[in-house]
């Protein structure tokens, strides 16, 4: 397990040091949504371009801790170019990842396995659930994305 945790740590550090899809999009036409996590001081700005039901482009700006910024980077890489339907599926799988182990680790047991292999690099964030105070850091960009998607006219 520790090898896997090392790998996850590497992925998170890599996305923190070299964030993917970092920048801004002209808004409008792009949708601009801001998120803030007062517990940690994380700020995320998500820019979304949706064309014909596809999230054709996404850019991330903002500042914050390594978890919030690497989660935003991982998210942007996971959802860019996907249809909105796929994006919603990825979001719900990620939310499952962030909630499924809550409260199950008090006895030191391993969390219920979910299909991490299907989640690619997002699986790296699975370790965050062991630190409940950081979950809000990890979910900030995702909640901001959801907020943006909700603003897209059907």
Positions touching Zn ion (CB under 5 A) are 40, 42, 65, 68, 137
**Residue nearer to Zn ion on the CB measure, 123 or 137:** 137
- Do residues 139 and 26 touch, judged by C-beta distance below 8 A? no
**Residue nearer to Zn ion on the CB measure, 16 or 47:** 16
Minimum CB–partner distance for residue 67 and Zn ion (Å): 5
Minimum CB–partner distance for residue 42 and Zn ion (Å): 4
Minimum CB–partner distance for residue 84 and Zn ion (Å): 27
**Residue nearer to Zn ion on the CB measure, 64 or 148:** 64
Return d(Cα 61, Cα 73) in angstroms, integer: 10
- Do residues 59 and 20 touch, judged by C-beta distance below 8 A? no
Minimum CB–partner distance for residue 153 and Zn ion (Å): 32
User: Given its phi and psi angles, is residue 120 left (phi above 0), alpha (psi -120 to 50 degrees) or beta?
Assistant: left
What is the DSSP-derived secondary structure letter of residue 131? Answer: S
Token digits for 29?
Answer: 């036409």
**Residue nearer to Zn ion on the CB measure, 25 or 127:** 127
């Amino acid at each position: 397990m520790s090898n896997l945790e090392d790998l996850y740590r590497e992925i998170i550090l890599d996305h923190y040091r070299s964030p993917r899809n970092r920048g801004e999009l002209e808004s409008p036409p792009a949708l601009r949504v801001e998120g803030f996590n007062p517990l940690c001081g994380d700020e995320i700005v998500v820019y979304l371009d949706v064309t014909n039901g596809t999230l054709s482009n996404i850019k991330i700006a903002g500042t914050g801790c390594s978890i919030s910024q690497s989660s935003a980077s991982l998210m942007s890489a996971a959802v860019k170019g996907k249809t909105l339907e796929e994006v919603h599926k990825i979001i719900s799988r990620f939310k499952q990842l962030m909630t499924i182990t809550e409260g199950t680790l008090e006895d030191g047991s391993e969390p219920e396995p979910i299909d991490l292999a299907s989640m690619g690099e997002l699986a790296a964030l699975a370790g965050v659930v062991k630190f409940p105070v950081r979950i809000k850091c990890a979910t900030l960009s995702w909640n901001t994305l959801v907020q943006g998607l909700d603003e897209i006219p059907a």
